[in-house]
Structure 1
Amino acid sequence: MTYFTAFFLDNEKDIIVSLYKDLDRMLYVLSTPNHGTGNLIRNLAAIVRLPLSHDENGMLVIRGEVPCFIDAQNHESYIFSLGDIEVARIYPDARVEMKAAIPAISKTLMSQTKDYRLGLDKTVFKTFVKKELKFRADLHTHMNGNLTGDMLIALGICHQIRYPLYYVKKLELQLTEEQWIRVNAQRSKVAKQFITSELTGKYLDRKINDNTYINFADLILNNLGNAEMNIVKIRGSLAVIKDGQAVFTNLEKVYLYRYVFCKGKESDEKIRLHNVDQIPDEDVKRYLKQMLIDRENPDYCNNTIFQDKLLWIARYYKRQGVCYAEISDTTLVKKYESIEMLRQVHEVMPRIYQETGVMIRFLAAMRRIPLTIIKDAVTPADYLEQNLAVLKATALDPYVAGCDFVGEEINDISTLRPVFKELVKIAKEDPSFVIRVHAGENDSYKDNILGSIQCVRDFLAPGQQMPRMRLGHGLYTYSLRSLKGKEVLKMLKENNVVLEFQITSNVRLNNLNSLDKHPLRQYLKQGIKCVQGSDGAALYGTNSIDEELSLERMLELSEKDLRLMKETEESIIEYSRAAYSTKKAAYTEMLGERDMEEVLLEKMQTVKISRGNTKSVPRFDANRELKEEIEELAWDRFPVILLGGSFNTEKRATRVTQEGIKQMKELMKFLDPEEVFFVIGHKLSGYEKYLLDNNKKGFKIYSVVPAAVTAKEIDRLKNSGVKIRVSTETEGMGIYKSFNYEIFERRPSMVVAFDGNSAAANLIQEAKNGKGKAAILVWSRSKTLQQKARSLQGYVEFFDEEKGIVEQIRKIQREFGEKEK
């Protein structure tokens, strides 16, 4: 048998079908090399009832034969099927015609568990949508999440971007000997610039490696022997993790990898772009060839990286049948960067629209909380005031459709009321201005959907109509049958608010663990306007068609449901196109003969937001206030993380039960304080309080606290006797990230979860994903954590009165001992 061709069953190229041919016979090998746990291929094999075997590297694969068929015209084709679904038709000339695929949402759910429960109909989808029901807008997406990894890699080669040595080492990319000599010589020069730096050890190494670069085109084109594996690794770094669900921290890290390409800077020393035909990845090669052709096109020959990015976003949308998109971007609230961005948009967008017919507009995005993942970034205290000053100017541009609040939803939206006051003023001057809020994405703040609407309504001027408002995600609020839920429905209807749904990102970011709880059908039944978005499709391995099919299949939407969403989308597209034309005329008149930069800088007037009657409890620097209590986690003992008090929503307290106390007593009696220590959150409530009050054996207890704490919290922590670890996150709902950094990525551990909301679910997911193996035990009486635990079947043990916690720990110990043998 000789190799014939290959194709992929998913957008991220994770499920590979390699074909081998000998005379009339065609055999296939289905593999999932990017998924190390084996869950994906095991679950897929079980669904389609095919046997597993091992390849020469010991990886699980599915092998079989592809039958050959002859049609009425005596033409031969081979038909590859999974179960009774025709997936691909393969022709003798090696053309592959895809008929069905596995969407990212199903792939994630299969990767997440050892016991996948969905059937074939919700795993392999026919890739067809009725023309009259096809969605043609992407109304919820993000600037640097739209292009696939292959497109970004091609863009990096074409523009010969600087690729940091840090990522070369982090991804374990292979360079030629000559490339290593050159990059190490450059590193030596860079290191001299940091001789006086206060950084030491790995922090200094990171800084030097971040500022040492290799020309990305050189890395690929002059290193073809390693190009195939390097491309696979780089592609993998540009999407969220493969083996199961991710959390927001993972998303932030992926954005850092993407920024290298999306915000890339060209290398000083260029190479000749040769060997293009020898690039081993067909898609990267195809995109790069078109980019080189574009360089001969007078419309695009002088494109910047950003302009090429817009061009390829539009081309990608055109391929999916999308004609209108609104993309969130934080650049539009930065003073000089926003002007440069808009200048480039005005320069290239008319030509892009002429080619593709796709209209791209933007939402100026403000962060609901400061970004913490970039360690050296310093966010000024008045960053929102600075954002608003810029927005007052950029909102005048016809390509700016409105604004957006972005970032992880770990704070109460009402804390941003003063900002809404200024946004409502902008909307008064421009009735087409969209106010979009990420709200209801997780269950931390169930008031945020209603609160977002009230924040706008409360600041309407006399006679002012409600601005055009959309809420992104809208998954979590109070039960729509409850009094509060009915109030939410009433406010949504009365104020013509549109809800945006992105099912794949919800699943892949650990915000949706049970599809039968999704509220979309309920909203549509109640007459609420709903649309689909992608949330930055390439981040999650999806696209517009996959998203629509996922909504339809996974949530069992009817044609009537899809038609209602389609009608809402069409009305938004029609209104938005008209608004663009109106704003363009006004903008042209406003500029007159003056330069855009001069006019917009003039319009960026200082904004002072008044807190008014907004109640705000002063918070203090935890590192300073608790410096005497701060201590490194012990390395001579085993960490036990207790969830049962700190990881709830702010308005929900953990109810301590007698049954739960019994389990705590057994746990504390079983564990040895010389062998283990406990790690808890910052509230010291619920089962955390029980641990502190009954610590007669003298367990060492650490509390992870947010970077900003109240005076009450300071006193409580100081009087408790706990040792302190300070998170980089200022919000209590975000401290789960520090457990991952300090424990799950570094060492084995055990999680004992009695209670919690999304923050607890994220911590459990981080424990499962971490490099250090974590035993995870969940109290079966916790309704809020059951869905998360069940989605991790095979990685979580439940405990209760019947299956006591000590019994379950011993079971885990036995299983671990058997694996060690």
Structure 2
Amino acid sequence: MTYFTCFFLDTEKDIIVSLYKDLDKLFYVLSTPNHHTGNLIRNLSTICGLPLSENDDGMLVIKGEVPCFVDSSNLEAYVFTLGDIEVASIFPDGSVDLKATIPAIAKTLMSQTKNYQLDLSKTIFKTQIKKDIKFRADLHTHMNGNLPGDVLIALGIYHQIRYPLYYIRKLDLKLTDAQEKRLLEQRAKVARQFVTSGLQGKYLDRRINDNTFINFADLILNNLDNAEMNIVKIRGSLAVIKDGQAVFTNLEKVYLYRYVFCKARESEELINLNNISQIPDIDVKNTLLQMLKDKENPDYSNNTIFQDKLLWIARNYKKQGVCYAEISDTTLVKKYESLEMLKQVHEVMPKIYQETGVMIRFLAAMRRIPLTIVKDAVTPSDYLEQNLEVLRATFLDPYVAGCDFVGEEINDIITLKPVFKELVKFAAIDPSFVIRVHAGENDSLKDNIAHSISCVKDCLLPGQTMPKMRLGHGLYTYSPRSQKGKEVIKQLKDNNVVLEFQLTSNVRLNNLNSLKDHPLKYYLKQGIRCVQGTDGAALYGTNSIDEELSLKKMLELSDDDLELMKEAENSIIEEGQIAYSDKKAAFISLVKNRDMEEVLLEKMKTVKISKDSSGKQKRLDANKELKDEISEITWDRFPIVLLGGSFNTEKRATRITPDGQCELDKLMDFLNPDEVCFVIGHKISGYEKYLIENNKKNFKIYAVVPALISRHEKDKLMAAGVIIRVSPEAEGMGIYKSFNYEIFERRPSMVVAFDGNSAAANLIQEAKNGKGKSVIFIWSHSQTLQQKANSLHGYVRYFDSENPIVNQIMELQNKLANNNSQ
């Protein structure tokens, strides 16, 4: 057999159908090389009723023949089907007409479990949407998550960006001998600059490798023997993890990989781009060839990488039938960076709009909590005041549609109420100004939707009408049958608040583990305006069309439901277009013949916002207050992570049951304190408190605490006599990340989960994803963890009085001993 061609069943190129010819017969091999657990291909073979086999590398594949058909014009076509769904027609000239695909949401759910529950109709979608209900906007997305990996790779080659040695090593990219030699020589020079830095070990290596660069074009074009595999690895680093659901930690890491391209600097030594046609990846190659054509176009010939990003974002939207987008970007609240960004936007966007017909506007994004993933970044305590100072000027620009609160939803939005007091002033000046809040994304802060609305309403100026307000995600609030839930519905309707839904990102970021209780249909029935967004489509392997198909198929939305969403979207598009025209005229009048940057700088005035207006007591620095109790988790004992108190919503306490007590007692009786230690959260409540009070065998108990704690929390921790680990996260619901850094990524462990909300679900997912093997036990009576456990079928074990945890541990020990003896 000879290789014929290939195609992909998903946007991320994870499900590959390779085709081979033998005379006039065509055969296929379906593989999933980026998914190493085998769950994806096993589940796909099961629902399609197709046998599995192994290839020469020991990877699971699905093989078969593609039948050939002849139509009434005597034209031949090979028809590839899965189950009863016609997926693609393959023609004798090698062209492929793809008619159905597997959306990212189905791919994630298949990868997550060993027992996939959805049927074929919710797994493989015909890629067609009725024209009259096709969405035309992306109203919830993020600047640096928007472009597909192939386009970013092409941009990196075209602009010959600097690519750090750190990522070459991290991704295990292959270099030529000459490239390796040059990099090591450069690294030695860089290392000399850090002799007096005080850094040691991996921290010193990281800093040196971060500042040692190769020209990215050189990496690909002068290394063609390794280009195909290097591109696959780089592409994979630009989206969230493949084998199952991710958590916010993973998302933050992906953004760091993307920043190399999105916030790139040009290399000092450039090369000739004369062998682009030899790039093995056809999509990267074709994108690059178009970029070279753009170089000859006077409209784009001097584009910066940022301007090319905008151009390719618009081109991608045009392909998807999207004509209007509002993109969140934190750059618009940074003083001088925002001015440079807007200058470049004004230069290129009219030309982009003329070519594509896509209008791109922006939401100035402010972080609800400081970013902690960048280790050396120091966020000033007055960062929100600095953001508002810049926004006083940038909101006047016609390309700025409003503002946004972004970041992981682990704090009550009410704590930012003083910021809203300033934002409503902008809305009083510009009635089109949109205030958007990421709220209701997870189940830990069910007040956040109501609190977001009240933050705006309570801050209105005398006589001011409610500004345009949108809530991103809107998944979780109180039950609609409860009084609180009914009040939320009333507030949403009375204030004309728009809810934005991003189904794929909700699933891939572990905020949605079951689709059956999704609230979208209910909201639509109640007359609440709802729209779709992508949340940064490329991060999650989706696009506007896949998102709409997923809403229709997965949530069983009717055409009437989609029509309601389309009407809400149409009104926002129309309002946005009018707002742009009105603001443009006002902006021209404001600037007149002066320099735009000079005018905006004059508009930036210091803003002071009140502190601690929420009535919360001042929080203390845990590193200072608990310094004598801080110690690294010992390496001579096996860590057991106990969940049952610290990982709930703020207002929900864990209820200890006699059966639960009995299981924990038996576990402590069984375990040897010389061999294991316990690791808990910071609240010292529920089963955590029971563990401490009944620690008769003197187990070492570590408590992971947030960087900021209350006086009451400090006193409880001191009285408990636990050993302390301080997380870089200031909020209690973010400390799950530290369990990942300190345990799941570094060593084997066990998780015993009695109770918890989204923070517990995130910790469990981190344990499943971690490099160190973790055995996960979940209390079968925990309703809040049921959906998470069900989504991880084959990776978690239930325990209760009928299935005691000690018996299961003994079974595992016996199995391990038998395997070792063999």
Give TM class, smaller chain.
over 0.9
- Partner residue of 2:641? 641
| 3-state SS of paired residue (1:602) | helix
Q: Is the 8 A contact 2:441 2:474 kept in 1?
A: yes
- Partner residue of 2:291? 291
- Partner residue of 2:493? 493
Give the direction of change, closer, same or farther, for the CA distance of 1:67–1:316 in structure 2 (3 Å limit): same
Q: Is the 8 A contact 2:612 2:618 kept in 1?
A: no
- Partner residue of 2:177? 177
- Partner residue of 1:618? 618
Task: Measure the CA separation in 1 of the matches of 2:599 and 2:553.
Answer: 50
Task: Measure the CA separation in 2 of the matches of 1:53 and 1:395.
Answer: 58
- Partner residue of 2:328? 328
The answer to whether 1:357 aligns with 2:357 is yes
CA deviation after TM superposition for structure 1 residue 585, in Å: 0.1
Task: Measure the CA separation in 1 of the matches of 2:300 and 2:593.
Answer: 26
Task: Measure the CA separation in 2 of the matches of 1:709 and 1:817.
Answer: 44
CA deviation after TM superposition for structure 1 residue 808, in Å: 2.2
CA deviation after TM superposition for structure 1 residue 613, in Å: 4.2
Give the direction of change, closer, same or farther, for the CA distance of 1:328–1:780 in structure 2 (3 Å limit): same
- Partner residue of 2:417? 417
- Partner residue of 1:630? 630
Task: Measure the CA separation in 1 of the matches of 2:808 and 2:439.
Answer: 38
Task: Measure the CA separation in 2 of the matches of 1:601 and 1:610.
Answer: 24
Which residue identity lines up with residue 237 of structure 2 in the other structure? Answer: S
| 3-state SS of paired residue (2:426) | helix
CA deviation after TM superposition for structure 1 residue 670, in Å: 1.1
- Partner residue of 1:546? 546
- Partner residue of 2:468? 468
The answer to whether 1:537 aligns with 2:537 is yes
Which residue identity lines up with residue 376 of structure 1 in the other structure? Answer: D
Q: Is the 8 A contact 2:154 2:288 kept in 1?
A: yes
Task: Measure the CA separation in 2 of the matches of 1:272 and 1:204.
Answer: 34
Count of residues in correspondence between the two structures: 821
For normalisation by structure 2, the TM-score amounts to 0.99
Task: Measure the CA separation in 1 of the matches of 2:216 and 2:422.
Answer: 44
Task: Measure the CA separation in 1 of the matches of 2:371 and 2:520.
Answer: 30
Task: Measure the CA separation in 2 of the matches of 1:237 and 1:809.
Answer: 36
| 3-state SS of paired residue (1:315) | helix
- Partner residue of 1:731? 731
- Partner residue of 1:160? 160
The answer to whether 1:446 aligns with 2:446 is yes
- Partner residue of 1:676? 676
CA deviation after TM superposition for structure 1 residue 282, in Å: 0.5
Deviates more, 1:615-624 or 1:727-736: 615-624
Task: Measure the CA separation in 2 of the matches of 1:612 and 1:109.
Answer: 42
* Unpaired runs of at least 5, structure 2: none
Task: Measure the CA separation in 1 of the matches of 2:713 and 2:477.
Answer: 28
The answer to whether 1:225 aligns with 2:231 is no
Q: Is the 8 A contact 2:87 2:100 kept in 1?
A: yes
CA deviation after TM superposition for structure 1 residue 614, in Å: 2.3
- Partner residue of 2:697? 697
The answer to whether 1:142 aligns with 2:142 is yes
Residue by residue over 1:507-531, the C-alpha shift from the partner in whole angstroms, topping out at 9 and shown as x without a partner, is: 0000000100110001001111000
Deviates more, 1:806-815 or 1:73-82: 806-815
Residue by residue over 1:606-663, the C-alpha shift from the partner in whole angstroms, topping out at 9 and shown as x without a partner, is: 0000237421211111111111101111111100000000001111111111111111
The answer to whether 1:386 aligns with 2:391 is no
Task: Measure the CA separation in 2 of the matches of 1:409 and 1:645.
Answer: 19
- Partner residue of 2:39? 39
Task: Measure the CA separation in 1 of the matches of 2:527 and 2:810.
Answer: 52
CA deviation after TM superposition for structure 1 residue 814, in Å: 4.0
Give the direction of change, closer, same or farther, for the CA distance of 1:817–1:84 in structure 2 (3 Å limit): farther
Task: Measure the CA separation in 2 of the matches of 1:801 and 1:360.
Answer: 58
Residue by residue over 1:142-165, the C-alpha shift from the partner in whole angstroms, topping out at 9 and shown as x without a partner, is: 000010000000000000000000
Q: Is the 8 A contact 2:439 2:473 kept in 1?
A: yes
Task: Measure the CA separation in 2 of the matches of 1:409 and 1:813.
Answer: 39
Task: Measure the CA separation in 1 of the matches of 2:235 and 2:350.
Answer: 31
For normalisation by structure 1, the TM-score amounts to 0.99
Deviates more, 1:613-622 or 1:742-751: 613-622
Residue by residue over 1:312-349, the C-alpha shift from the partner in whole angstroms, topping out at 9 and shown as x without a partner, is: 00000000000000000000000000000000000000
Task: Measure the CA separation in 2 of the matches of 1:46 and 1:194.
Answer: 55
* Unpaired runs of at least 5, structure 1: none
Which residue identity lines up with residue 376 of structure 2 in the other structure? Answer: D
Which residue identity lines up with residue 553 of structure 1 in the other structure? Answer: K
CA deviation after TM superposition for structure 1 residue 400, in Å: 0.1
Task: Measure the CA separation in 1 of the matches of 2:108 and 2:819.
Answer: 26
Which residue identity lines up with residue 411 of structure 2 in the other structure? Answer: N
Which residue identity lines up with residue 402 of structure 1 in the other structure? Answer: G
Q: Is the 8 A contact 1:775 1:812 kept in 2?
A: no
Task: Measure the CA separation in 2 of the matches of 1:207 and 1:29.
Answer: 43
| 3-state SS of paired residue (2:425) | helix
RMSD over equivalenced CA pairs, Å: 0.8
Deviates more, 1:526-535 or 1:811-820: 811-820
Q: Is the 8 A contact 2:418 2:613 kept in 1?
A: no
Q: Is the 8 A contact 2:364 2:404 kept in 1?
A: yes
| 3-state SS of paired residue (1:600) | helix
Give the direction of change, closer, same or farther, for the CA distance of 1:815–1:477 in structure 2 (3 Å limit): farther
The answer to whether 1:522 aligns with 2:490 is no
- Partner residue of 1:567? 567
Which residue identity lines up with residue 597 of structure 1 in the other structure? Answer: E
Residue by residue over 1:264-323, the C-alpha shift from the partner in whole angstroms, topping out at 9 and shown as x without a partner, is: 100010000021111010000010100111001000000000000000000000000000
Task: Measure the CA separation in 2 of the matches of 1:817 and 1:117.
Answer: 34
Task: Measure the CA separation in 1 of the matches of 2:208 and 2:397.
Answer: 40
Give the direction of change, closer, same or farther, for the CA distance of 1:285–1:471 in structure 2 (3 Å limit): same
Task: Measure the CA separation in 2 of the matches of 1:510 and 1:782.
Answer: 18
Deviates more, 1:184-193 or 1:528-537: 184-193
- Partner residue of 1:103? 103
| 3-state SS of paired residue (1:515) | coil
Give the direction of change, closer, same or farther, for the CA distance of 1:265–1:529 in structure 2 (3 Å limit): same
Residue by residue over 1:754-785, the C-alpha shift from the partner in whole angstroms, topping out at 9 and shown as x without a partner, is: 00000000000000000000000000110000
Q: Is the 8 A contact 2:780 2:798 kept in 1?
A: yes
Give the direction of change, closer, same or farther, for the CA distance of 1:819–1:124 in structure 2 (3 Å limit): farther
- Partner residue of 1:718? 718
| 3-state SS of paired residue (1:147) | coil
Which residue identity lines up with residue 605 of structure 1 in the other structure? Answer: K
CA deviation after TM superposition for structure 1 residue 816, in Å: 4.2
CA deviation after TM superposition for structure 1 residue 699, in Å: 0.5
Which residue identity lines up with residue 38 of structure 2 in the other structure? Answer: G
Once the two structures are superposed, the pairs formed by residues 207-356 of structure 1 within 5 Å of their partners are: 207-356=207-356
- Partner residue of 1:804? 804
- Partner residue of 1:195? 195
Give the direction of change, closer, same or farther, for the CA distance of 1:631–1:801 in structure 2 (3 Å limit): same
CA deviation after TM superposition for structure 1 residue 424, in Å: 0.5
| 3-state SS of paired residue (1:616) | coil
Give the direction of change, closer, same or farther, for the CA distance of 1:96–1:746 in structure 2 (3 Å limit): same
- Partner residue of 1:775? 775
Residue by residue over 1:386-429, the C-alpha shift from the partner in whole angstroms, topping out at 9 and shown as x without a partner, is: 00010010000000000000000000000000000000011000
Q: Is the 8 A contact 1:757 1:784 kept in 2?
A: yes
Task: Measure the CA separation in 2 of the matches of 1:801 and 1:643.
Answer: 18
| 3-state SS of paired residue (1:178) | helix
- Partner residue of 2:368? 368
| 3-state SS of paired residue (1:516) | coil
